[in-house]
Structure 1
């Protein structure tokens, strides 16, 4: 289709007025968005990375955190310091540890209480005095033995540290580094020192997430730049979408900052990192689609304002529908029990809305202002004609059209076979050592500590109950298999043999016999809960690190059961409204679910047999589903809206081929960009993010290269006009279809001529 140079609409309005409006609109839009972007640097200050912010509010472990606030703040966390000598701890080592203990006590104002060892509970007052003042020669072998581990090779200290409200987890790496420096300065002559425990693990996590804003965004930008250069093969054009993408990320982070500060939106390091990747990737996708349609219309219209006007009218519905599908799908996460999952939904949905606004306002204005020359050296000229069926995807469509049923049946079978790999997916709460892609100091320390001390020390069970029932609850608790017997003596006057008591509530801590991040520990938690819940009227509850992990697993499983079907229904309704059909949405949704299953199956095999990951996080399947279905359906929307547009004019079967040829290149480019941006998550040493980046990248590539181009096209060709049932297009499809003289032997027309004679003009 081409349009005359004598279109009357442009001639009847003032070009000067239009240009003034365009420039003014651009200035205002960039100023407003820039003001939001200027707030992006504040996003880290409103992040809530406390453990309670990740948990479901009604979980038992969350309630324990709230009830124990009077006894211990949830801002406090222990670091476990271990000194180890393979030949056995000596009296000189005890003196060295005593000196380290004094330095650890005073190194930071956030150290809470006394730096102690669990072994101190078994010392007499005379032992304590000897330990505090005597030289090595005055410390008996018996006292050394009572201070050290059962094997006599290690001595342990516990440093309780308050995480400052203003600095948060960002200060942890420095604090742990200083602790390690103190420990190493006293670990000499064959004595080795280690700093582990929950505080050290949190410091390693903080270090890993510290680069999420900078390194991750730079990696994603690098991928985007390469893909834009390859897509446009222009030294200039790529700069415009890139500028809009960066502006989208900045503005989105500014908007999320305001929502977190004034609307109580929960943001953490994980959601902030995913926000940047998602907004950049999705925003560039929308830009690619609009630029491709604009380039096409520049061949049909002489004036670029008219070309852009027509491009927006044709492309904007698909872009908006795609963006809203992603937004609605992400908002479904708000129904999750997990606070971290529920917060991710509105955080990322807000980012997608910002990306849509930038790509539909700023991008068109910039393209019009800069003119055709930005496409150099492949400048689209008015009157140029691109032959139908030309290009890679035109040829692919022609081949698929020869045997569409054979193609879609074969493709479905292969993807179904890939889905079998999901049986290898080991989803659950990962042990601490399995959450990083490379070895971390805290993990090394914890492994050494576990060799010499009870594995659950430093991460005890926390139990609260009514004070009147303290004895009964303590008795029930100490009878649970997997819990170390409680110490019988204490020097703390606020503590009784059954725990701390205050305001009618009693608080216990008990040490697990197993490491806190193991299945054995989770089983012990369940037994402990059964035991204390059985004490009638005690209102007893069990929390702590192990209980938190168990509650996360159960809440995540419940979220999977609720949110996955909810998203499917939402996407189905959006597709039905967009395509005005029942059949097409069902088919398209089926292809995306099949693609998701194949991506997850292949990923499970790669995780286990290539990367040697121990498993996946409990929330991984849900996150993978949300991003793959919400983003994967985008490409079907891009394709099928164009197919429907062409089907109205030439019939469904030829419309499918034209739609594929017209959109194939840009959709493939968009998929490569999105896959590349998500693969940037692998730059962070966090297993969950590396796995999420891999599965989304793989799934997007399957969607764009196989599912959308081959499977959906083959299904559309085979199903024909029934794709639009029961809409008006289903009844009228092909009524105005005239065979293209350039394709007299069209395989689609030939194959269906007898089966569908009503399609002839």
Structure 2
């Protein structure tokens, strides 16, 4: 090194006080944050509509619909299918009784006079093989899961023998989503921690050190969960089950990566100095800059998600950045405190003894920069030194071959029913049965908001669309009821007057007339609006009318989304201010917004990372090389992922947000390892020159960065235990991408290309001339 700083040698009181205070502070944070692990789900939401941008038509429709309905009740569709293929007449009384039982079920909204009933049905299918009910629930989230679970048991118990029941629709699907996220608090964390512990045990061959590293990660997660819980509780940020799971994995993985770099530097220093305090001083000086730069890069890359129009992406940015911040703080404060307390004992039974480090003998054939290096990294270094151009060209060709699979990536969104993985999912099975016997979109209609002056034309135009099975205008029930009562009263008064006129004076018939023929009594209760000569009275709110259009297509199908697009275009010619929303439109708007976010955010992330690298490495060429390497690595990962998703797992497609999340995590985390490598290379280059510095930097960081990559890949792979398509795909993309980055990109492509370029890699800094 060009300048040697004196070793850290604190006074006795500081040696005792500093680590003690740090440990107490972090135990206090963990003590406060630990209980919030089980409470974070109380402030999370999995409602897709809640994450839409304000500019989306679906958002406007949702806001206006709330004014029409005066509630946020969630509908469930109950489908009961006859096993024999026909509903028996003798069972219809039981289905009427079932409707009554449903009204009293826990969580079902109470029926208010003058409002839409909480239970609609039974409705029998035209083929006579199934029965349908529409039931409205009050709750959401975990409370809804409990209500739907007990409701499903009630329906099964009260359904006559010979029938199979399903509870589906938005409420049933949401409950199954919540159930899918149920493993996030427990199973996900346990699997991730177990995987990390096993890897650390293999890497360090020590019992205590993996525990210290995992404590660092767990305490970082506790602190981040604590802060995020209170931010969400006060409506500062939105938390979803998706962001909750990603946060846990990201913090565990990042904190472990930072800890590995700190531990590696500390172990290296323990061989060089006797004092554990001096060793920690050296380790801290050497590790702080790359850890800080890495954390800052990931934080800023994640905060670029704030530019997203999709609120779910926008919410994940600060949540994940908050977690990375705590991972950084724990790695530079809590872990060093533990290492200062345990010293060399943390590495037991393989203690790093002062002056006892094994080194390889140096001979005349040893390449500069590989003095004292042995094993795998010496062989890799020799390969790069002898054939740098061949090495990086061959590596690049391999990556380009992987990129060839990229056009096969299907990331335009998938039906919500395909987002849940596994078999025997009642909401998914129920939707399939619904489509066999009723219009497939029943229970999840398109919601149209039209002007009161043009709504009749909108209704007429909507009825003409192919794929629309029925159209209903939401009525003003109070006004309609009043009109019906007034009409019936008028009819009764007219009947009495007519009878009086026919009977002569006093309304009695003349004595010489026989008795008039008996008239059939009028059943006023069963008269329709048409029978009464009345037109439906729509409910008007702020000059708008709400119209429900039921599709013959499944609400989350591509056909339904295409129909919504056509309706929005064609109905605008009838009513320029018309809005089309509903479940199908929500999915459509979400996918389109996510696709637009990818195009907008990717350049911003790359620019932010490029600026950070330029400031860190004092160079223009090196940052450009690193940025290019991670972009190629990401493209290769997505190409391989497309092949695996389509041909191995046979997934129906991918959520439109998958490429964006994959990009942000892979580019930010991939740059991490290049930062670890190139900051050490620059440090060595200042003393021994660029090309030797590249080889030495690769050799001394090789094991720790590879270990960090394996740990991060293992933690993200743990997301695969959650049976949700988005998380399983993200788990594969990040895990495979990190391994690809550490094995090929950081070990071969970057150092070989940098070695081939030589000192000019540091241009325009003075180091470019050394």
TM-score where L is the length of structure 1: 0.88
**Per-residue displacement from partner, 1:244-303 (whole Å, max 9, x unpaired)?**
111011111011112223461111111111101100000000000000001001111111
* Closer, same or farther: CA 9–593 of 1 in aligned 2, 3 Å: closer
CA RMSD of aligned residues (A): 2.2
* Counterpart in the other structure of 1:426: 410
2:550 paired with 1:511:
yes
**1:462·1:509 contact (CA, 8 Å) conserved in 2?**
yes
* Counterpart in the other structure of 1:59: 56
* Structure-2 separation of matches of 1:245 and 1:154: 53
* Counterpart in the other structure of 1:283: 255
* Closer, same or farther: CA 557–73 of 1 in aligned 2, 3 Å: farther
* Counterpart in the other structure of 1:19: 16
* Counterpart in the other structure of 2:510: none
Of 392-401 and 569-578, deviating more is 392-401
Equivalences for 1:412-423 in 2 at 5 Å?
412-423=396-407
Secondary structure (helix, strand or coil) at the match of 2:714 reads: helix
* Counterpart in the other structure of 1:196: 168
2:87 paired with 1:89:
yes
* Counterpart in the other structure of 1:728: 766
**Per-residue displacement from partner, 1:506-553 (whole Å, max 9, x unpaired)?**
11111012111111111111121123322346x221100001111011
**2:474·2:546 contact (CA, 8 Å) conserved in 1?**
no
Q: Which runs of 5+ in 1 are unaligned?
A: 121-146, 734-761
Greater Rg over alpha carbons, structure: 2
**1:65·1:74 contact (CA, 8 Å) conserved in 2?**
no
2:403 paired with 1:403:
no
The alpha-carbon deviation at position 23 of structure 1 amounts to: 2.1
**Aligned with residue 445 of structure 1, among 408, 430, 447:** 430
* Counterpart in the other structure of 1:294: 266
* Structure-1 separation of matches of 2:6 and 2:478: 92
* Structure-2 separation of matches of 1:375 and 1:479: 76
**2:451·2:578 contact (CA, 8 Å) conserved in 1?**
yes
* Closer, same or farther: CA 566–487 of 1 in aligned 2, 3 Å: closer
* Structure-2 separation of matches of 1:548 and 1:517: 9
* Counterpart in the other structure of 1:570: 608
**1:394·1:660 contact (CA, 8 Å) conserved in 2?**
no
**1:2·1:383 contact (CA, 8 Å) conserved in 2?**
no
Secondary structure (helix, strand or coil) at the match of 1:511 reads: strand
The alpha-carbon deviation at position 497 of structure 1 amounts to: 4.2
* Structure-2 separation of matches of 1:437 and 1:181: 23
Secondary structure (helix, strand or coil) at the match of 1:468 reads: coil
**Aligned with residue 207 of structure 1, among 160, 179, 184:** 179
* Counterpart in the other structure of 1:455: 440
**Per-residue displacement from partner, 1:207-231 (whole Å, max 9, x unpaired)?**
0011111111111111111111011
**Per-residue displacement from partner, 1:180-202 (whole Å, max 9, x unpaired)?**
22222233332222221111111
* Structure-2 separation of matches of 1:223 and 1:526: 46
2:376 paired with 1:337:
no
* Closer, same or farther: CA 38–107 of 1 in aligned 2, 3 Å: closer
2:522 paired with 1:501:
no
**1:151·1:452 contact (CA, 8 Å) conserved in 2?**
yes
The alpha-carbon deviation at position 638 of structure 1 amounts to: 0.3
The alpha-carbon deviation at position 25 of structure 1 amounts to: 3.5
* Closer, same or farther: CA 489–718 of 1 in aligned 2, 3 Å: closer
2:461 paired with 1:476:
yes
**2:473·2:538 contact (CA, 8 Å) conserved in 1?**
no
Equivalences for 1:257-272 in 2 at 5 Å?
257-262=229-234, 264-272=236-244
* Counterpart in the other structure of 1:606: 644
**Per-residue displacement from partner, 1:558-581 (whole Å, max 9, x unpaired)?**
100100111011111111111111
Equivalences for 1:47-196 in 2 at 5 Å?
47-72=44-69, 75-85=72-82, 86-108=84-106, 110-113=108-111, 114=117, 116-117=119-120, 147-163=123-139, 168-196=140-168
* Counterpart in the other structure of 2:574: 535
* Closer, same or farther: CA 534–84 of 1 in aligned 2, 3 Å: same
**1:40·1:251 contact (CA, 8 Å) conserved in 2?**
no
**Per-residue displacement from partner, 1:690-717 (whole Å, max 9, x unpaired)?**
0100110000001111110011111111
* Structure-2 separation of matches of 1:289 and 1:381: 19
* Structure-1 separation of matches of 2:144 and 2:22: 46
2:611 paired with 1:635:
no
* Closer, same or farther: CA 294–109 of 1 in aligned 2, 3 Å: closer
Secondary structure (helix, strand or coil) at the match of 2:448 reads: strand
**1:2·1:299 contact (CA, 8 Å) conserved in 2?**
no
**2:271·2:356 contact (CA, 8 Å) conserved in 1?**
yes
The alpha-carbon deviation at position 650 of structure 1 amounts to: 0.9
* Structure-1 separation of matches of 2:683 and 2:328: 22
* Counterpart in the other structure of 1:485: 470
Secondary structure (helix, strand or coil) at the match of 2:410 reads: coil
* Structure-2 separation of matches of 1:239 and 1:189: 56
* Structure-2 separation of matches of 1:623 and 1:277: 14
**2:66·2:72 contact (CA, 8 Å) conserved in 1?**
no
The alpha-carbon deviation at position 476 of structure 1 amounts to: 2.7
* Structure-1 separation of matches of 2:118 and 2:213: 56
The alpha-carbon deviation at position 500 of structure 1 amounts to: 3.0
**1:83·1:97 contact (CA, 8 Å) conserved in 2?**
no
Secondary structure (helix, strand or coil) at the match of 2:414 reads: coil
**1:499·1:509 contact (CA, 8 Å) conserved in 2?**
no
* Counterpart in the other structure of 2:41: 44
* Closer, same or farther: CA 365–109 of 1 in aligned 2, 3 Å: closer
Secondary structure (helix, strand or coil) at the match of 1:212 reads: helix
Of 467-476 and 525-534, deviating more is 467-476
**2:238·2:315 contact (CA, 8 Å) conserved in 1?**
yes
Count of residues in Structure 1 that have an aligned counterpart in Structure 2: 697
* Structure-2 separation of matches of 1:112 and 1:60: 30
* Closer, same or farther: CA 325–565 of 1 in aligned 2, 3 Å: same
* Closer, same or farther: CA 337–73 of 1 in aligned 2, 3 Å: farther
The alpha-carbon deviation at position 613 of structure 1 amounts to: 0.6
2:204 paired with 1:232:
yes
* Structure-2 separation of matches of 1:74 and 1:412: 58
The alpha-carbon deviation at position 314 of structure 1 amounts to: 1.0
* Closer, same or farther: CA 64–383 of 1 in aligned 2, 3 Å: same
**1:252·1:351 contact (CA, 8 Å) conserved in 2?**
yes
* Closer, same or farther: CA 540–49 of 1 in aligned 2, 3 Å: same
Of 404-413 and 458-467, deviating more is 458-467
* Structure-1 separation of matches of 2:77 and 2:18: 65
* Closer, same or farther: CA 226–434 of 1 in aligned 2, 3 Å: same
* Counterpart in the other structure of 1:739: none
* Structure-2 separation of matches of 1:530 and 1:398: 64
* Counterpart in the other structure of 2:736: 698
* Structure-1 separation of matches of 2:192 and 2:536: 56
**2:145·2:176 contact (CA, 8 Å) conserved in 1?**
yes
Secondary structure (helix, strand or coil) at the match of 1:79 reads: strand
* Structure-2 separation of matches of 1:698 and 1:370: 35
**Aligned with residue 326 of structure 1, among 288, 291, 298:** 298
* Closer, same or farther: CA 109–724 of 1 in aligned 2, 3 Å: closer
* Structure-1 separation of matches of 2:161 and 2:336: 70
Q: Which runs of 5+ in 2 are unaligned?
A: 112-116, 360-371, 481-534
Of 263-272 and 448-457, deviating more is 263-272
The alpha-carbon deviation at position 453 of structure 1 amounts to: 0.5
**1:37·1:252 contact (CA, 8 Å) conserved in 2?**
no
Secondary structure (helix, strand or coil) at the match of 1:474 reads: helix
Secondary structure (helix, strand or coil) at the match of 2:574 reads: coil
**2:389·2:753 contact (CA, 8 Å) conserved in 1?**
yes
The alpha-carbon deviation at position 17 of structure 1 amounts to: 3.6
TM-score where L is the length of structure 2: 0.87
The alpha-carbon deviation at position 464 of structure 1 amounts to: 1.3
